[in-house]
Structure 1
Amino acid sequence: MTKIWNEAGFVSDDPWVIESEDTKAGSNEKAILSLDGFLSAISESDASDLGVLINPADDVMRLGPCLDRIALVAVAFPAFSDGRSFSHASLLRSRLGYEGELRAVGDVLIDQIPLMLRCGVDSFAVTNATAIKRLSEGRLPGISTHYQPAAKPSANINSYSWRRVS
């Protein structure tokens, strides 16, 4: 079972569905398409009700010209050891200026959620039972002081993330 979580808590009626050959969005749902599928769809119509799935091997820079028309970008974490989507999230927020919803999907583990938040991810499709339990208890792990900058500004004014903005 997949649950959607953001910093406000669990979301009950999330309309987004990652489309595949077997799964299609219904009438009250919104489709998340592959990068190539999304770029084909946007050339034919408006993308304001579409989402796009960025896999680790995808070139996120291809979204640059149409980011202001995308409602949701989902970055895929297919395995806990594949960190390329951290870079995708950071590029989307910092370099490309994406301001819409950025969702982590796939192997979302509790230990990685604070790092994903720092990269600019703001919602999570969580399937891991331990992560769901800890999030429902409000037990998010993390380190209170960071030395490196992040896509999401630090709430702690004593951290060092202000030293460099890139």
Structure 2
Amino acid sequence: MNPTLIHRYTIPLQQAIEQLVGKEATDGESFLVDIDGDDLIIDIHGPTNLTFRIGDYEYTVDGHRGKEATNETPKSNDASPEAEAKPAEPPRKGGPLAQRAAISCGEKGFWTFIGKKFGVTIGSADEAAAWLKAQCGIKSRVDLDYDEAKADNFREIDKSYRLWLEGYDV
């Protein structure tokens, strides 16, 4: 018995991909569509010399940092080939400790806690952040996620604050 064709739909590939994965995914140079069992696989290929910016840094498509982005034209023969071959580290980003510190600094209860425990009057989130940075010996709360000793200092302050919130006199 031969199957009988009941319906046939013709949808332009670009339009189908836009509907399935979003318009921003269709900016590639080519598409490869395949079916694996019950899965539709869509590979979107882009240019090999693609660079993009994150903050002040430019990255190539392979993830290596190219250079700090500036509006100046790069100078030739400034650095040795060895220096250009070694990718620099991307900018550090805050993780869970930096986030928890930022949230605490925004809480008026934390300001009160600092006043009662440490005798310092805090009137804003910025003042709380400055106090916390001084207490932990950091320049930025991001440092808490990269320096274990300074993170331990913050954890002790945070633990005391959490106990204080529960009603324990610390």
Q: With the length of structure 2 as denominator, give the TM-score of the two structures.
A: 0.18
Richer in helix (by share): 2
Structure number with greater CO (CA < 8 Å, separation at least 6) is: 1
Under a length normalisation based on structure 1, what TM-score does the superposition of the two structures give? 0.19
